[in-house]
Amino acid sequence: MRCAGCGYELWNMAPGRCPECGRGWTHRDFHYLPGRVRFLCPHCEHAYAGLGPEGRPVPESFDCRACGNHVTLDTMRALPAPGLGTDQVMGNIHPWVDRARIGRWRAFWRTLKASLTGPRELARAQPADARVRDALAFSAWASAITLTVPLACIGFNVIPMLLAAPGATLSSWETMVMLGGALGWIAIRPLLALVQSAVAHVVLRAGGPVHGGWNVTACACLYGMGPVVADSIPCVACISPLGSIWSIVSSIVQLSAAQRVSGGRSALAVLLLPALSIAVGGAIMLWTYRAQLAGP
């Protein structure tokens, strides 16, 4: 159990703020395996097993049967059961949130794999106070991987030219255009996912209660971008939008699990903006086509 901000060990500490970085935390930010964590009364240190669905005591507010004082989950310290290590007592751990412990590169690929093959579990591991900037960083890396296809195409054309004319170089303007295009390619998908999450959250709130705030919705949409790496597969990106479709499905599943809403509500929230964009684009194309037929 480590701080999501800096990786500081939080076992045997009462919820509050991390002493290392000051980030707030509670036991609800973590998922424990039922029965494998002991929660200690702050008055007498009598231990209670976390037998709830997420490994926490049930109920979360009660009178200690050992000393009679009132106890709440937010005042109890937690420790792994005797003989068990952290990896044996923790439930779903969000790899990207836990990257301070497992390493950024390894955490990225684990998060990517989870977004591709286990989006529901990934969303359930997402803390309630998930930071959008962390999810933005992950989505930017995923978007950058999709640059492999266009870069390969550019290299296929530029390298033979340079070999044929060793003295030839790209002008500063051409270099700036290439760099600008690369940065724009990396940024456009995360930015669109942010806009999509804003619309999705409004739709969810209009349709009923949700579990968390906009940050939860935004992180679900951004972590759902993992499958876009399929667009870096040669030929696949040219013949079908596999990565984009898979990404939408992953976002729907993650949003449903993170906000604890039905799949139908989640699908409506995620698909509304793309559907409106397609409808508006189709209407503009139809209007332009009819204007051309009508002539001057």
Please state the three-class secondary structure of 169-220 as a single string: CCCHHHHHHHHHHHHHHHHHHHHHHHHHHHHHHHHHHHHCCCCCCHHHHHHH
Residue 93 clears pLDDT 80, i.e. is over it: no
Half-sphere exposure for 112 (CA within 13 Å, toward CB): 20
| pLDDT, average across residues 148-160 | 60
Percent of the chain whose predicted confidence (pLDDT) is above 70: 81
**CA angle, corner 126, sides to 121 and 130, nearest 5?**
165
Q: Which two tokens stand for residue 278?
A: 């397609």
Task: Check: CB of residue 266 under 8 Å from CB of residue 210.
Answer: no
Rounded to whole angstroms, the maximal C-alpha distance in the chain is 90
The span from the CA of 36 to the CA of 45, in Å, is 17
> What confidence score (pLDDT) does residue 249 get?
92
296: pLDDT confidence band, cut at 50, 70 and 90? low
The total number of residues written for the chain in this structure: 296
> What confidence score (pLDDT) does residue 33 get?
83
Residue 167 clears pLDDT 70, i.e. is over it: no
C-beta contacts of 287-292 below 8 A and 24+ residues apart: none
Question: How many other CB atoms sit within 10 Å of the CB of residue 177?
Answer: 12
Question: How many other CB atoms sit within 10 Å of the CB of residue 193?
Answer: 25
> What confidence score (pLDDT) does residue 83 get?
84
Question: How many other CB atoms sit within 10 Å of the CB of residue 182?
Answer: 15
| pLDDT, average across residues 222-249 | 78
